[in-house]
Every structure is written in C-alpha cells, then in structure tokens.
Amino acid sequence: VLTSDLSVPSLPARFVLSSLSPSISPKACTGLLQEVVYLVSQGADPDEIGLMNIDEQLPVLEYPQPGLDIIKELTSPRLIKSHLPYRFLPSDLHNGNSKVIYMARNPKDLVVSYYQFHRSLRTMSYRGTFQEFCRRFMNDKLGYGSWFEHVQEFWEHHMDANVLFLKYEDMHKDLATMVEQLVRFLGVSYDKAQLESMVEHCHQLIDQCCNAEALPVGRGRVGLWKDIFTVSMNEKFDLVYKQKMGKCDLTFDFYL
C-alpha cells in the first residue's frame, strides 16, 4: 500500500536512487546501480564492495528496516534507495533540495527479471506461469503499481536540475558516458586518469554482477526477454506498450 503521508523532514544534500525494478543486489538493475553509484561517489574499490553489505550503505526509504529514524541520523550526503513513484517521494525532492538518480530498464527485460525475482523469494512464493505474471504486469497488478505510470512520471521530470534519468541498457552500451554523468551529478572530482580507472572499476563491477556464473538465468543481460517471450506474447506486449506509452517520447533499447 502506498501512502502520500511519507515524509523525511530536513534531509538536504541527499541522493535517492529510484526505479521500479527488483532490488536484490547484484542481480537487478537497482542493485547494480547502487553499487556503481557507491563506487563513484566514494571512490571505493570493487573488491571492497564485494566484501560489504551494500544494502546497509544504501537503506531503502519505504522499508520498515532500518526505518526513517535511522535514515535521518545518517551523515549527509546520504545515499538512499527507493522504488516509490515520484509523487510519493519526500517534499525535499520535489523542491529541488535533494537529488534523484532514476534508472529505467526496458520493460520486456524487466518483467522477465521481476518474474525470476518473485520466484526466488520465499516471502513472495510466486508459483504462477510467466504468461500469467506478464499479464499482471501489463494490467498494472503488481507491487508498486503501474510500471508505465511510474517511468513516465519520472520522465516528466528528467530535465529537472536535481534529477538524473538513466537507462539500464546505456550502462552496457556506453558505460564511460554514464560514469561521467554520475561524476558531474554527484559533484565528485576525478582527473582523466582517475576517471579512466573508475570506468574500468565499474566495468569489473558490472562483469561480476552479470556474468553467467553469478547469474545462471542471465537476469542482468540486455535482450533477456527474447528467450522467454512467445510471438503472441510479444505482439500483445507491444500493443499494450503502444497504448500506454504512445504519448511519451521516452525510448528504450530492447536488445543490443
């Protein structure tokens, strides 16, 4: 259940990572994003990140643990993760006093990854077919509501000075440019050699997160949907996508 009563007063200079995607690190785009952002913002080493519980470094805003009281005690600038729609985020974000890094993923890959995520958790224990799950996705019947509304709402603010709108596929297609965007947006400073080293570190991190051994189902791969969508499912999905996203100029790469 989402509520508009969520508020975190007086949290300036905060960075919120947001998306509507499974958030188990390192298997999904939010988890991968949080590790890349932590790496860039802290100048950390990928091996160090592999040894730490990164979720403790980036608490989830809407989760009961650790809770808002703990989040308010974090030292600024704080790195906080959320899957909430834009309209439900704290007012500091709407007023431009905090920064948001939003990552969107093409919905075909996302729904496959989301399905695998649901099946992997005992608390969710989803045992239906992918066809049924995909139908629920298209009908906006999954947790956090409609992906179509969620991504369009943030896209409407992608030109805001305090919003950085990223695409998961670009992390695979042009990582160097994405790292440069993050460096500028986070306000950190690297010389050319340091920046090249940071890009290489991010490449290592992504390889660790998305290689076949770590991900037997290939959940981090771009174009994952082609292995599971039938022709009829793909045609139906394209129709729904056109109906719900037709007026939006946001585009995605569905394969690389």
Active site residues: 83
Distances (CA, A) of 37 to 26, 215, 252: 13, 21, 22
CA angle centred on 38, ends 215 and 113, rounded to 5°: 30
Burial of 28 (C-beta count, 10 Å sphere; 0-12/13-18/19+): buried
Burial of 208 (C-beta count, 10 Å sphere; 0-12/13-18/19+): middle
